Amino acid sequence: MRKKGNFEMLHLGHVSHMHWRACNSRLSAAGITPAMPFMLDYLKDHAGCIQRDIARRWNLDPATITSVLSTMESEGLVERKAVPGDKRALQVFLTAKGEEKAALVYSIHDEYERLSFQGFTKEERELFEQMLDRIEQNLKTEKKERDDDQQTV
């Protein structure tokens, strides 16, 4: 049982970490590093996107994206192609091997989603998703305001 107090976000972080560790253990055994699931998932639905789009979506430094993609490319999971007319931009595509890994990631996460939401009604899951979306939006708004404040200094 949790202590009394307004520590819901700490509790959410703890539960999220438990979920992540369980999934990551299985993914690691399959040769999938912690950053790869995000990339595989995004690229599955955004074939041909540019690296900057991935960085923006996951709120990560472009250099981090480049590093992860380099590893994935060396393992044959992605292919990068130059964007015609823009020598600096690279489009990213999953290879067949990358699509197989993406399917494995989805399967493992789906298994832990079912386990995590055992006993929840459809309505409870939908409410939970709505609440997470609102929390995410609140944090994005705060980050944008903070970034705007730093630019005006």
Copy the structure tokens of residue 51: 């690296």
Q: With contact defined as beta carbons under 8 Å apart, do 51 and 66 qualify?
A: yes
| 1 lies in some domain | no
Give bridge partners of residue 82 from the DSSP assignment. Answer: 90
Q: Is pLDDT above 90 for 143?
A: no
Number of structural domains found in the chain: 2
Q: With contact defined as beta carbons under 8 Å apart, do 51 and 65 qualify?
A: yes
| 103 lies in some domain | yes
Q: What is the pLDDT of residues 37-49, one digit of tens each?
A: 989 999 999 999 9
Instruction: Tell me how many helices (H) and strands (E) the chain has.
Output: 6, 3
27 CB burial (10 A radius; 0-12, 13-18, 19+): buried
Q: With contact defined as beta carbons under 8 Å apart, do 103 and 110 qualify?
A: no
Q: Band of the pLDDT at 5, cuts 50, 70, 90?
A: low
CATH number at residue 58: 1.10.10.10
* Secondary structure letter of residue 117 according to DSSP: T
Using DSSP bridges, classify how beta strands 78-83 and 86-94 pair: parallel, antiparallel or unpaired: antiparallel
Q: What is the pLDDT of residues 64-121, one digit of tens each?
A: 899 999 999 999 999 999 988 887 888 999 999 999 999 999 999 999 999 999 999 9
* Secondary structure letter of residue 3 according to DSSP: P
| 4 lies in some domain | no
| 2 lies in some domain | no
73: containing domain: 9-116
Q: What pLDDT sits at residue 4?
A: 63
Is the same domain home to 61 and 73? yes
Q: Is pLDDT above 60 for 2?
A: no
Q: With contact defined as beta carbons under 8 Å apart, do 77 and 101 qualify?
A: yes
Is the same domain home to 55 and 95? yes
Give me the chain's average pLDDT, please.
90
| DSSP three-state, residue 127 | helix
| 17 lies in some domain | yes
Closest CA to 81 of 38, 50, 39: 50
Q: With contact defined as beta carbons under 8 Å apart, do 93 and 79 qualify?
A: yes
Q: With contact defined as beta carbons under 8 Å apart, do 112 and 22 qualify?
A: yes
Is the same domain home to 54 and 69? yes
